[in-house]
Amino acid sequence: MRSTPPNALPWLLLSAAVIVLDQVTKALVVAHVLPGQRLTLVPHLLDLTLAYNTGAAFSFLAGAGGWQRWLFGLLAVGISLALAAALARVPRGAWRTALPFALIIGGALGNLVDRLRLGHVVDFILVHWRNDWYYPAFNAADSAITVGAVLLVGFAIWGDRHDKS
């Protein structure tokens, strides 16, 4: 009888940690910051602000009338299930695959919790340069998705170079 090598499903613990971090930071901001209020963390660079986003990244489809809540919810569930199924087939030590997948799952589900509970996503991190340029407000879940996607692409492009040495 052949034993199967351990899979990367334990990386879902990182996904759970991302969800907890995301929800705790959102709860703290909602409790202490008024909508639209800006609290400077780093002058001319980083503020806390409370914003509600009914759309996706960059408020895409924010004014679509409500159906987008369910579309983005279904996408979050579908992508998370697909990535979790992939983790079940990935060897546990394949961290260059498991880490980005776990971050993306955690971020997608962190924002899904908001969509289901509140009907919108809570955003609170505002990066800007002086008063000349602003990046749209985002949250910890968005950061996890972005870092996961960048790592996924980066490891796909440059990962083999390190493995061959």
Task: Find the catalytic residue in 123, 132, 160, 163.
Answer: 123
Is residue 136 classed exposed, middle or buried when 0-12, 13-18 and 19+ CB atoms within 10 A define those classes? middle
The answer to whether 47 is a known catalytic residue is: no
Assess contact for 124 and 50: CB atoms under 8 A.
yes
CA count, 13 A, side-chain hemisphere, 8: 22
Task: Find the catalytic residue in 22, 47, 114, 142.
Answer: 142
Copy the structure tokens of residue 115.
């969509």
Q: Rounded to 5 degrees, what angle do the CA atoms 23, 24, 30 make?
A: 85
The answer to whether 142 is a known catalytic residue is: yes
Residue numbers annotated as active site:
123, 142
